[in-house]
Amino acid sequence: MLAGLLALAGVAWLVTGDRMGAMESMPGMGLGGFGFYVTVWVVMMAAMMFPAVAPTVLAYDHLREDHHARGQGAPADATALFVCGYLLVWTAAGLVAYALFELLRSLDPPFLAWDEAGRYVAAGVIVAAVTYQVTPVKRACLVNCRSPRTFLAKRWRRGRAGALELGVRHGAWCLGCCWALMAALFAVGVMSVGSMALIAAFIAAERLLPWPNGARAVAAVVLLALGLGVALAPSEVPGFNEPGGAMQGGDGHGESMQMR
């Protein structure tokens, strides 16, 4: 089970790199057509989240086997449905982000031009993620994500529908943990493989390392430095592409965007 999850994550990283390798990701970059975005987003989530969520999937499968041995209706495909429920939550979150992004683009507010307030808006989103990192809400969500067996045992549901429901429930806690980190990813350029890897490392460290508070603190410090760099000296931030002129959309066609 663990090998399968990590293999899927590895394939997802390869596919993501292939789809994004030729793109120059930057703030305000077009997300491309709806179909392109949805497929890329789901693959991104598999790449970024499967390593961190692997202990929860293993815990679910062990509990499923225990219930099956007692004749309590836990089919073998329930684990796959649990993972599907988890991905459904992140797919829904990605659709909301896409809708908000497209709405903002249609309004085309002049202040989002990069040489106006665009850089400060991007930096503000990153700093807001830093603030969320140290809130009690973040800590509460992280506790549930780091204690999967307790979470699953308390909320166990039988059957395939129950597996899907549990996957959705765990996905909701995971979203509560990580939505601000994903917002920071959008702020620097959601199509950046390097930024994806950084955020994925933060997520995995918070979930898997024995020092969750230290992992949260390190992520907050790095993001704070990134936010200040974007606001004050974006050209000096390693791997950061400062917008200028027309941008490339996710479908490979030039799309004019704000923060240009």
- Bigger pLDDT: 227 vs 156: 227
Out of 3-7, 92-96, 128-132, which region has the weakest mean confidence (pLDDT)?
3-7
Q: Is the pLDDT of residue 250 over 60?
A: no
- Assigned domain for 249 exists: no
Q: Where are the beta strands (DSSP E) in the chain?
A: 247-248, 254-255
pLDDT of 2: 83
Out of 2-11, 22-31, 37-46, which region has the weakest mean confidence (pLDDT)?
22-31
- Assigned domain for 118 exists: yes
The residues that bridge with 255 in the sheet, in sequence order, are: 247
pLDDT of 54: 93
Q: Is the pLDDT of residue 20 over 70?
A: yes
Average model confidence (pLDDT) for the chain?
Answer: 85
- Assigned domain for 28 exists: yes
Out of 29-33, 65-69, 183-187, which region has the weakest mean confidence (pLDDT)?
65-69
pLDDT of 108: 79
- Assigned domain for 229 exists: yes
Tens-digit pLDDT profile for residues 127-178: 999 999 999 999 999 988 988 888 888 888 888 888 999 999 999 999 999 9
Taking Cα atoms as reference points, which of 49, 63, 65 lies closest to residue 152? 63
Residue 233: CB atoms within 10 Å: 11
pLDDT of 242: 82
- Assigned domain for 57 exists: yes
Give the pLDDT band (50/70/90) at residue 251. Answer: very low
Give the pLDDT band (50/70/90) at residue 42. Answer: very high
- Assigned domain for 94 exists: yes
- Assigned domain for 23 exists: yes
Token digits for 241? 């592409």
3-state SS, residue 239: coil
Give the pLDDT band (50/70/90) at residue 249. Answer: very low
Is the Cβ–Cβ distance between 34 and 98 less than 8 Å? yes
Q: For residues 164 and 86, what is the distance between their CA atoms, to the nearest angstrom? A: 8
Percent of the chain topping pLDDT 90: 48
Is the Cβ–Cβ distance between 47 and 130 less than 8 Å? no
pLDDT of 247: 37
pLDDT of 105: 82
pLDDT of 257: 37
The residues that bridge with 253 in the sheet, in sequence order, are: none
Indicate the number of domains in the chain: 1
pLDDT of 252: 41
Give the pLDDT band (50/70/90) at residue 21. Answer: low
For residue 34, what are the domain limits?
A: 2-238
Q: Is the pLDDT of residue 31 over 90?
A: no
Rounded to 10 degrees, the C-alpha dihedral 39/40/43/45 comes to -110
pLDDT of 215: 92
How much is the average pLDDT of 198-224? 93
